[in-house]
Structure 1
Amino acid sequence: MTTSRAVTWDVMASHGYGTAWVAFDGETLRARGRAVGTDPEPYWVSYELETRDGYVTRRLRVTTETSEVTRTLDLRHDGRGEWTADGQPFPEVHGALDCDLGLCPLTNTMPVLRYGLHRAAGEREFLMAWVSVPDLAVRPSVQTYTHLAATGGGGGRVRFASGDFRSDLDFDADGLVVDYPELASRLTPR
């Protein structure tokens, strides 16, 4: 059964906003999103994300635009650990299962849902194909997610760590970020 959600975040880290329209079907998700930011310079971003079973990234298509340039990226994962960026092999992220679009809280969802880390104890380390915004450079990023506590309504708190950076994220029951201190906080409709 497919369920759909629209989520908007105040993205403090970019002095902007982002909205994602997400459809869950079994253990897959499809999403499209748009965001606007002013840091490091005014930009907008538009993306489409799709996963295969187990919330493993299949494809991320992104477009960013600044006053100077429009960039696009078509990042694909073959399901066996191999990635391409704009049709060219990208071995730097070999073995990664997920993409992580910079300043986009949605892409924290896949590893959390895959292991139920918003609901149950556990800690997992991941290699991610991290995409910076607005330049769309792809880099390997080792990230650790650790379940800290259950919260009301089936959600939970999960510690995100990468290098020296640490933040305790709140997720709802669907595995979507509610609060990511210093990066983004969900806006609620009136």
Structure 2
Amino acid sequence: MFASHALTWEVTASRGFETAWTERADSVLRARGRAVRTVPEPYWVSYELETAEDFVTRRLRVTVETGAGTRVLDLRHDGHGRWTADGEPLPDVDGALDCDLGLCPLTNTMPVLRHGLHREPGDREFLMAWVSVPDLAVRPSRQTYTHLRSGHVRFSSGDFRSDLEFDDEGYVVDYPQLATRLTAR
């Protein structure tokens, strides 16, 4: 049985807001979200996320609307480490298990849940299929998640580092420099 939640964040990094409606059962997550952002230009983002077992991304479909028009990305993982964007192979992100939608606190959930890093000691490095917004380019991103204490995980990628707060269910509550949740689960 799926547990449903509506989560809303103020996304300070883009001077906007995001709401995600999530459904979770065992080790599977489904979500749909919408965001309005004003930096670097006004734009809307809509997305649908599906994971397979162990919170491994199966599909991320993203639509971005700007004053110049609409862009759509259909990012898929085949379950064997290979990715496609709109049907075209993405060899640079082969081996990644997770997507990471830029400026979206929800997509930090999958690796944290898979390894229980919000609850238990550990330090994990991941290759992510990182999706920048609003252009929807997909790039490889090396990211490290380190358990600090219950509910607190350090995120680092390159020179960037931030100590994130998660609730008991593995959803971001506070992501300094990026977003703060406005709603309870």
Q: Give the CA deviation at 1:167.
A: 0.1
Give the structure 1 partner of residue 136 of structure 2.
136
User: For 2:108 and 2:30, how far apart are their aligned partners in 1?
Assistant: 14
Instruction: Tell me what 1:173 maps to.
Output: 168
| Counterpart position of 1:3 | 3
Distance 2:90 2:2 in 1: 32
1:153 is aligned to none
Residues 72-99 of structure 1: CA distance to partner in whole angstroms, max 9, x if unpaired? 0000000110000000111110000000
Partner of 2:112: 112
CA distance in 2, matches of 1:94, 1:113: 21
Q: Structure 2 matches for 1:1-190, cutoff 5 A?
A: 1-150=1-150, 156-188=151-183
**C-alpha offsets along residues 15-66 of structure 1, whole Å, 9 cap, x if unaligned?**
0000000000110000000001000000000000000000000000000010
**C-alpha separation between the residues in 2 aligned to 1:60 and 1:173?**
24
Mapped to 2, the partners of 1:188 and 1:76 lie a distance apart of 30
- Secondary structure at 1:95 match in 2: coil
Query: Aligned AA for 2:8?
Result: T
Aligned residues: 184
**Residue identity matched to 1:125:** E
Cα distance in 1 for residues equivalent to 2:83 and 2:183:
36
TM-score, normalised relative to structure 1: 0.96
Aligned counterparts of 2:51 and 2:98: Cα–Cα separation in 1: 9
State the one-letter code of the partner of 2:183. Answer: T
Q: Distance in 2 between matches of 1:25 and 1:171?
A: 18
Task: Provide structure 1 residue ranges, at least 5 long, that are not aligned to the other structure.
Answer: 151-155
User: Which TM-score applies when normalising by structure 2?
Assistant: 0.98
Taking only the aligned residue pairs, the percentage that are identical comes to 73
Question: Aligned Cα RMSD in Å?
Answer: 0.6
Using the TM superposition, give the Cα deviation of residue 188 of structure 1 relative to its aligned residue in structure 2, in angstroms: 2.6
Code of the residue aligned with 1:20 in structure 2: it is A
Amino acid at match of 1:187: L
Q: What is the SS of the residue equivalent to 2:109?
A: helix
Q: Distance in 2 between matches of 1:186 and 1:145?
A: 20
Task: Provide the C-alpha distance between the structure 1 equivalents of 2:111 and 2:183, rounded to a whole number of angstroms.
Answer: 24
